[in-house]
């Protein structure tokens, strides 16, 4: 066993959140800067082992409702025009659900305790437009959806049934043909790391993370809506009783904001402090971010709301001069250009999965001289 040395500097590290080692959360420090480095970017996989894919024999097959079935090598893909921009995304299970809900619901308690806001990140991605790839095959008018097949498969991680299932998700044609829906092969200037889908993943800009299928090996254009396991049995939540639409599907990221400075447990000096954080709304622009330092009684717009790059989060800063020492509950609240504001409460209390939590998060801090 390696012994600790006196005065060892502590580098932030990715946080294992479940026993099967399929999900790691970013530590709080990783979300303080614009770009989350690859080694601290969250990982949410469905099976313990990431597929091993040899880039020299890699093939991407495009078939279904197309004029011609084609197979592309990695070299073929690299010859297409490159797209490179930042994209922020989160898992739909990101952010802690308030304890008053978790007590009565069947939420995975261990992950709920550990994950914080760490099941999200922002990176610069490079790849090719899915539209360009689909045009090589020629999409027929009969196309309704595009289904994406990953190389990852196995037994369902929750109940083991089905015993063998492949990770597959689909997109409607409008999103599949959007020029910013890309097949990514680089993450922050490096080849896609193995746990992030090497050598190729789908990247659905502005949407929840599970839509962006990793280890992409097949693109299947369908003449019907895809009703596979990971579309209908997972990543869905029940809507409230009486809602004519019984289930909720997680596509576009909802409007949301978080405070990233101070870090959890960091003491705020009474002389003043620059609060900082991030806000995002997927495909929409953010209109305003407000701050409350009195538990939601009063709100003020943040001093500085930086522009985003492509689909990245917006970074914000706000100078706070606390009136006195003591304990405070601070909150950030974002509103997008459509006028949609973060809810004050967890938005899906009638479903047990804790998904889609974009509430205003109370954050307890301490101010000292």
Partner 1 sequence: MPIIDHSDIRLAPTTERVRERYLVSKDRGAVSLTVKEVEIAPGWEGRLHTHPVDVSIQVLSGAIQVILGDEVRTVRPGTTLLAPPGVPHKLIHHLWTPALLMITYPSAELVTDHLE
Choices 65-73, 108-116, 195-203, 212-220 (CB under 8 A): range interacting with partner 1: 108-116
- Minimum distance from residue 51 beta carbon to partner 1 (Å): 25
Choices 24-32, 49-57, 144-152, 314-322 (CB under 8 A): range interacting with partner 1: 24-32
**Vertex 28 angle, CA 22 and 32, to 5°:** 125
Name the strands in the sheet holding 273-280, side by side, starting at the edge strand that comes first in the sequence: 256-261, 273-280, 314-320, 304-305
- Of 117 and 196, nearer to partner 1 (C-beta) is 117
2 binds partner 1 (CB under 8 A): yes
Do 221 and 146 form a contact (C-beta atoms < 8 A)? yes
Do 257 and 332 form a contact (C-beta atoms < 8 A)? yes
Say how far apart CA 74 and CA 305 lie, in whole Å. 39
Burial of residue 52 (CB within 10 Å: 0-12, 13-18, 19+) is: exposed
- Minimum distance from residue 6 beta carbon to partner 1 (Å): 5
12 binds partner 1 (CB under 8 A): yes
- Of 223 and 364, nearer to partner 1 (C-beta) is 364
369 binds partner 1 (CB under 8 A): no
User: Pseudo-torsion of CA 43, 45, 49, 54, nearest 10°?
Assistant: -80
3-state secondary structure at position 83: strand
Choices 5-13, 239-247, 268-276, 285-293 (CB under 8 A): range interacting with partner 1: 5-13
**Vertex 31 angle, CA 195 and 358, to 5°:** 95
Do 213 and 127 form a contact (C-beta atoms < 8 A)? no
- Of 133 and 258, nearer to partner 1 (C-beta) is 258
How far apart, in Å, are the Cα atoms of 105 and each of 98, 122, 337? 11, 30, 33
What residues from 261 to 300 belong to the interface with partner 1 (CB under 8 A)?
Answer: 263-267
Identified binder of partner 1 from the candidate list 22, 44, 115, 214, rule CB under 8 A: 115
Say how far apart CA 44 and CA 42 lie, in whole Å. 7
4 binds partner 1 (CB under 8 A): yes
- Minimum distance from residue 332 beta carbon to partner 1 (Å): 16
Provide the 8-state DSSP code for 123. E
Choices 15-23, 63-71, 237-245, 312-320 (CB under 8 A): range interacting with partner 1: 15-23
80 binds partner 1 (CB under 8 A): no
Identified binder of partner 1 from the candidate list 110, 337, 338, 344, rule CB under 8 A: 110
User: How distant is the alpha carbon of residue 163 from its chain centre?
Assistant: 27
Do 332 and 317 form a contact (C-beta atoms < 8 A)? no
- Of 13 and 243, nearer to partner 1 (C-beta) is 13
- Of 214 and 256, nearer to partner 1 (C-beta) is 256
- Minimum distance from residue 109 beta carbon to partner 1 (Å): 8
User: In the complex, which residues of this chain contact partner 1 (CB under 8 A)?
Assistant: 1-8, 10-19, 25, 27-29, 96, 109-110, 113-118, 263-267
């Amino acid at each position: 066993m390696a012994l600790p040395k006196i005065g060892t500097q502590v580098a932030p590290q990715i946080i294992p959140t479940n026993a099967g080692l399929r999900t790691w959360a970013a530590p709080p420090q990783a979300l303080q800067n614009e770009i989350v480095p690859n080694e601290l970017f969250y990982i949410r996989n469905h099976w313990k082992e990431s597929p091993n894919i040899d880039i020299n024999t890699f093939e991407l097959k495009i078939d279904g409702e197309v004029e011609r079935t084609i197979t592309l090598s990695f070299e073929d893909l690299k010859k297409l025009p490159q797209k490179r921009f930042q994209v922020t995304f989160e898992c739909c299970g990101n952010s802690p659900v308030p304890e008053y809900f978790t007590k009565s619901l069947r939420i995975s308690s261990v992950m709920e305790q550990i994950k914080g806001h760490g099941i999200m990140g922002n990176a610069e991605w490079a790849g090719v437009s899915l539209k360009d790839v689909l045009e090589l095959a020629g999409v027929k008018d009969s196309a309704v959806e595009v289904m994406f097949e990953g190389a990852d498969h196995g037994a369902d991680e929750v109940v083991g049934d089905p015993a063998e299932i492949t990770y597959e998700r689909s997109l409607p044609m409008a999103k599949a043909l959007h020029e910013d829906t890309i097949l990514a092969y680089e993450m922050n200037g490096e080849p896609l790391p193995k746990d992030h889908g090497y050598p190729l993943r789908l990247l659905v800009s502005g949407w929840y993370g599970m839509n962006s299928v990793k280890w992409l090996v097949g693109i299947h254009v369908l003449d019907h809506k895809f009703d596979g396991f990971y579309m209908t049995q997972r990543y869905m939540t029940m809507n409230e009783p009486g809602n004519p639409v019984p289930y909720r599907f997680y596509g576009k990221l909802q409007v949301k904001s978080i405070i990233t400075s101070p870090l959890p447990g960091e003491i705020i000096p009474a002389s003043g402090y620059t609060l900082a954080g991030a806000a995002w709304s997927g495909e929409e622009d953010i209109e305003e971010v407000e701050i409350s330092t009195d538990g939601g009684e009063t709100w003020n717009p943040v001093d500085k709301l930086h522009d985003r790059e492509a689909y990245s989060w917006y970074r914000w800063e706000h100078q706070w001069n606390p009136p006195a020492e003591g304990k405070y509950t601070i909150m950030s609240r974002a509103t997008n250009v459509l006028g949609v504001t973060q809810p004050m409460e967890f938005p899906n209390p009638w479903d047990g999965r804790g998904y889609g939590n974009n509430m205003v998060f109370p954050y307890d801090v301490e101010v000292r001289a």
